Amino acid sequence: MTVSFYGENELRAMGFKSLGTGVKLSRKASYYNTANISIGDYTRIDDFCVLSAGEGGIEIGRNVHIAVFCLLIGQGAIRLGEFSNLSSRVAVYSNNDDYSGEYMTNPTVGSKYTNVLSAPVSIGRHVIVGCGVIILPGVTIGEGASIGALSLVLKNCEPFKIYVGVPAKYLKDRSRELLEVEKQFLLDGN
């Protein structure tokens, strides 16, 4: 697959809050409220992603990859730490409607008729999130954690642990060797 990325001048004209060097953003992705989106060095966002920043903003660290068809949306803050990775079709929500039936839902009705939960989402450094994962408001995924494909993340995930399932549950520990690999990567000038 060949991805068409915006050029440097085009990126600067898009009005991002901050933009690192070597950033690759697909022309086929959608970026809303760019004044609330910060993107770190060497980050790549592929085709058909939607980044819709609310009041809390979206903050993406360096060397982050967001694969095709990902969604980052909501009023609460969304943070992706350095070297994190969202595989295809990951959805990160910092807002969620009330499903109880006691309130109306969706943005076409006024807020006095809804009960929307808005809470920040934080994805730590070196986190890898598998294909089709859904992450709901208020979740913190600790550094180096791994989330298996098709999981539903409702609660915080501890650092360097692997989680899978619906809802996501601890499976086993994850190696910390990648921290040594990172040191060499940075020493090599990357």
Asked if residue 1 is part of any domain, the answer here is no
**Average pLDDT of span 20-29:** 98
Distance separating alpha carbons of residues 91 and 121, to the nearest angstrom: 11
Give the torsion sign (CA, 46, 49, 50, 55): negative
Whether 54 maps to a domain, the answer reads yes
How far CA 17 is from CA of 52, 65, 72, in Å, comes to: 13, 19, 16
The residues, ordered by sequence, that sit 6+ positions from 22 with a Cβ below 8 Å of its Cβ are 41, 42
Number of domains present in the structure of the chain: 1
Query: Which CATH number goes with the domain that contains 101?
Result: 2.160.10.10
User: How many Å apart are CA 16 and CA 33, to the nearest integer?
Assistant: 8
pLDDT of 64? 98
Within-domain flag for 69: yes
The pLDDT assigned to 108 comes to 95
pLDDT, tens digit, 9 for 90 and up, residues 134-176: 999 999 999 999 999 999 999 999 999 999 999 999 999 999 9
The whole domain housing 177 covers 8-187
Q: Give yes or no for residue 2 having a pLDDT over 80.
A: no
Domain-embedded: residue 53 = yes
Q: What is the pLDDT of residue 1?
A: 59
pLDDT band at 189 (very low <50, low <70, confident <90, very high): confident
Picking from 163, 177, 170, the residue whose alpha carbon sits closest to that of residue 130 is: 163
How confident is the model over 16-45, as a mean pLDDT?
98
- What is the rounded average pLDDT of the residues 115-122? 97
- Chain Cα centroid distance, residue 53: 11
How much is the average pLDDT of 55-62? 98
In a domain, 155, yes or no: yes
DSSP 75-112: SS-EEE-TT-EE-TT-EEESEE---SSSS--STTS-GG
Mean per-residue pLDDT of the chain: 97
Residues of the chain above pLDDT 90, percent? 97
CA distance 139 to 13: 33
**In a domain? residue 61:** yes
What's the pLDDT at 167? 98
Residue 3 has pLDDT above 90, yes or no: no
Tokens 């298996």: give the residue.
148
User: Residue 2 domain-assigned?
Assistant: no
- Residue 190's pLDDT is what? 77
Whether residue 50 is contained in a domain is answered as: yes
